[in-house]
Amino acid sequence: MQLNHLTLTDLKRGWHPVPTGWQCNYCQAHWSTASPEQERNEHLTLVHGGNLSQLIHLDSRYNTLTNKQQDLLTAFATGIKDQALANQLQVAAATIRHQKFTFREKAKQARLYLAIYEAVFEQTAAQETPLIDVPDQPGPVDDRFIITEDEAAATLQHYFDFDQQPLRLKRWPKKQKVILTVLTRIIDEIPANHHFSETELNQRLKPIYFDYPTVRRYLVDYGFLNRTTDGREYWRNTNGKD
């Protein structure tokens, strides 16, 4: 899930707008603008176990909830009474009430932080050099992922031969930041909303660079492509760079 592309409303409902309609936040399911909301909610329930469950247990470095907190929030969502939950957990009802108080305090802190952040950076956004989008990463984010549009344009011009068709990479870069920048251009050659076998994917990557297995591996490692655990199917991560 690419959080910087989603509004708070998108996160709470489980789908987000795309040029052709709506798309699920967790998979490639797509609906037209005329589709009923019930259809989207049914998909979230049947396929993903409900949007709330997905949010609470989201595998992201931004989800700082402990397992215990996730279990408590899941229980609170059912509407269970404090005493009943306390009996289940064999704790005092006051302990449950304190947990609710703690969650409310964290929500207040988050709202205040968000208001401060938006007030500060919305004023300076016009003065900043825009950054290119990269997929969410499972590990720590460092300077590799801070790439301005100007940097990217200069890098791509240096490494690609744009006079040839199809796209051709002149050489494979050594620095990880440059590799990441190069991948943001290569992924544009892979159609979205389509699953590929490894052979089909190789056919698309081979004209770009002779060492296409390396390109394929980095596209997966950096989250531009998803694949099944057996490696038989690949598809573009549409929550990354569209």
Q: What is the pLDDT of residue 125?
A: 57
> For 143-236, which CATH class?
mainly alpha
Q: What is the pLDDT of residue 49?
A: 94
Q: What is the pLDDT of residue 241?
A: 42
Sign, CA dihedral 150-154-155-161, equals positive
Instruction: Return the amino acid letter for 78.
Output: T
Q: What is the pLDDT of residue 217?
A: 95
The domain segmentation of the chain, as residue ranges, is 1-63, 64-128, 143-236
In angstroms, the CA 158 to CA 43 distance is 45
Predicted model pTM: 0.58
242 residues of the chain, pLDDT tens digit each: 667 678 889 999 999 998 889 999 888 888 998 889 999 999 999 999 999 999 999 988 788 899 999 999 999 999 999 999 999 999 999 999 999 999 999 999 999 999 998 888 776 655 566 778 888 776 677 888 888 888 999 999 999 987 778 889 999 999 999 999 999 999 999 988 789 999 999 999 999 999 999 999 999 999 999 999 898 999 998 754 43
Q: What is the pLDDT of residue 124?
A: 63
Q: Write the DSSP assignment of 59-81 as a string of letters.
A: -STT----HHHHHHHHHHHTT--
Sign, CA dihedral 105-107-112-117, equals positive
Q: What is the pLDDT of residue 134?
A: 83
Helix 212-221, helix 176-186: angle, nearest 10: 100
In angstroms, the CA 100 to CA 73 distance is 9
